[in-house]
Amino acid sequence: MKKRIKRRYRIARYVIYRQTILAPVDHFWTFLGAFTAIASLGLIQQSRFTPQDDVFLIGSFGASCVLIFGTTHSPLAQPRNLVGGHLLASLIGVAIQKLVPDQIWLASALAVSLSIVGMQITKTMHPPAGATALIANIGSEKIKSLGFGYTLAPVMTGVLILLTIALIVNNIPKGRSYPVAPLPWQKAARKLRRNPPQRLHSDKVDALDVP
């Protein structure tokens, strides 16, 4: 009876929780990636802005780090979703803020809901991007004064920093990869490893010689 219970427990643990079962070393790489990403944004914030202007350290970046470093195989964490979701949400958020500047409840609701629908349509669903749209409407006056510049910096600048660090850190250890679907340059590298260029035999080289 005990053996049967243990066997069922092992099967359930594998089937249901395999996505959350991580080796201890994975926790180190998760920590390193998230720490490096947020620290990089924090250094930019500290060197370029006053403590009162929370520009580069927007909350949605923290949530994005959870996905791209903690759940690297999640469809919601892939580069297309990370970049596309934040880009779309920031544009929608700023547009709504300009259209409805004095009704914060309406602007916030429209920004988040339209961003979700937009991400569904474009297949770039990234939950933290909802906060990006919201921040465009409830953020500090410094954020609101950026207008559509908010999309360029901090949003896209920060996203590219996060993505770059994720591509480096998540591909260092064996058994950990990001993104799940290889990028074009990764496909080319893998193809080259599978089919390395072959040297021509000497007699073939002689046959190719043109007098």
Cβ pair 94, 136 in contact under 8 A: yes
> Residue 187 falls within a domain, yes or no?
no
> Residue 83 falls within a domain, yes or no?
yes
Structure tokens at 130: 């909802």
pTM of the model: 0.78
Interior CA angle at 104 toward 77 and 153, to 5°? 45
Helix (H) or strand (E) holding 133: helix 128-138
- pLDDT tens series, the chain, 211 aa: 666 666 665 655 544 444 556 788 899 999 999 999 999 999 998 888 766 666 888 999 999 999 999 999 999 999 999 999 999 999 999 999 999 999 999 999 999 999 999 999 999 999 999 999 999 999 989 899 999 999 999 999 999 999 999 999 999 998 899 998 766 655 666 666 667 766 545 554 454 454 4
Going by C-alpha positions, the residue among 99, 65, 57 that lies closest to residue 82 is 65
Q: Which domain holds residue 156?
A: 23-173
> Residue 201 falls within a domain, yes or no?
no
What is the number of structural domains in the chain? 1
Ramachandran angles phi, psi of 147, nearest 5°: 60, -140
